[in-house]
Amino acid sequence: MAEEIKQVLQEYREGKISRREFIHRTLVLTGSLAAATTLVDALAPTTSYANLVDPNDPALISSDIKYSSTDGVSIGAYLTRPTGEGRLPAVVVLHENRGLVDHIRDVARRLAKVGYVALAPDLLSRQGGTGAFASPAEAIEGIRKVDEEVVTKDLTGAINYLKGQNYVRANKIGVVGFCWSGGQATLILTRNRDLAAGVVYYGRNPNDLDDVKNISAPVLASYGEKDERITAKVPELVEAMKKHGKSFEYKIYPGAQHAFNNDTNPQRYNPEAAKDAWSRTLEFLKKHLQS
């Protein structure tokens, strides 16, 4: 029974089943509604276990904002930046397939703490926003309706918004994406020449690898060895980048799974790989955005 409960718990944490289904299946296994609800509340939280940066950190200015997509649709986003005067480089922080959750807001604040304006768009905004979904599983279903053209419009709108702010260095804007949005980061890099750096965490390749010819920014990528579905395709991307003369650095982390950087997912989080990948990310962004 313990192994079965563990499997159900993992499916819930990965967003494959809803909270209701988790409780139902756990109730069947344990025979106790109290035990089922205790498990879902105590062992399977859907938000961050802890923020690395306090949402109310006095050294940061953080808030939810709205900006216009290129077709005029209002897109929700989380904006965070250091206090003080002057123009700073900026990073568009893209969320995983569960939407704009607390973890991604925290990642944005981590970047703000080291000197960036960080904007995290909610790419579920056209469907009411991440908060409109009752569970991670439902948010994932919503993400499946977000196609490449919508992503291009909404992320171009985010970049344009940053370019228009008097505290942003308009020629020093980067993008970082994780999981689902790792692929979206690569997508926008092929479609927007205003980006000065791109960081991809275990994102899929472009549907047409020849699209990398349109990338004008240097790219850094991190992959997990055990993430075979994604990592097996890396040699094809490397070859395409070489073919078109693009700047592409990457590292495959031994023993690491998909989503190894997400410290709110104990089933996937790999502290050693995450620490190294984040360090490389900060060095890369510093090199290309802070010079």
The pLDDT tens digits for 164-206 are 999 999 999 999 999 999 999 999 999 999 999 999 999 999 9
- Which one of 3-17, 233-247, 261-275 scores highest in mean pLDDT? 233-247
Catalytically annotated residue among 122, 258, 263, 288:
258
Q: Which two tokens stand for residue 16?
A: 């494959």
Structural domains in the chain plus CATH codes: 2-42 (no CATH), 60-289 (3.40.50.1820)
Q: Single out the catalytic residue among 122, 154, 227, 263.
A: 227
In the residue annotation, 227 being an active-site residue is answered as: yes
Cβ 201 vs Cβ 182: under 8 Å: yes
Is 263 noted as a catalytic residue in this protein? Answer: no
Instruction: Give the pLDDT of residue 30.
Output: 73
Span 51-82, pLDDT tens digits: 789 999 999 999 999 999 999 999 999 999 99
Q: Choose the catalytic residue: 95, 103, 179, 288.
A: 179
Question: Across residues 119-136, what is the average pLDDT?
Answer: 97
- Quick one: pLDDT at residue 20? 61
Residue 212 pLDDT > 80: yes
Residue 35 has pLDDT above 80, yes or no: no
> Is residue 276 among the annotated active site residues?
no
pLDDT score of 17: 61
The two structure tokens encoding residue 274: 């995450």
Note the pLDDT tens digit of each residue in 148-171. 999 999 999 999 999 999 999 999
Region 126-134 average pLDDT: 97
Q: What is the mean pLDDT of the chain?
A: 91
Question: Is pLDDT above 90 for 246?
Answer: yes
Task: Answer yes or no: is pLDDT of 43 > 60.
Answer: no
Using a cut of 0.75, tell me whether the model's pTM lies above it. yes
- pLDDT (0 to 100) of residue 34: 58
Question: What pLDDT, on the 0 to 100 scale, is given for residue 44?
Answer: 42
The 10 Å CB-count burial string (b at 16+, else e) for 13-31 is: bbbebbbeebbebbbebee
Instruction: Please state the rounded mean pLDDT for residues 106-116.
Output: 97
pLDDT value at 50 more than 60? no
Q: Are 36 and 30 in contact (CB under 8 A)?
A: yes
CB 88 within 8 A of CB 115: yes
Query: Cα torsion for 184, 186, 190, 193, to the nearest 10°?
Result: 90
Count Cβ neighbours within 10 Å for each residue of 75-97 and write b for 16 or more, e otherwise.
bbbbbbbbeeeeebbbbbbbbbb
Structure tokens at 151: 């992503």
pLDDT for res 38: 58
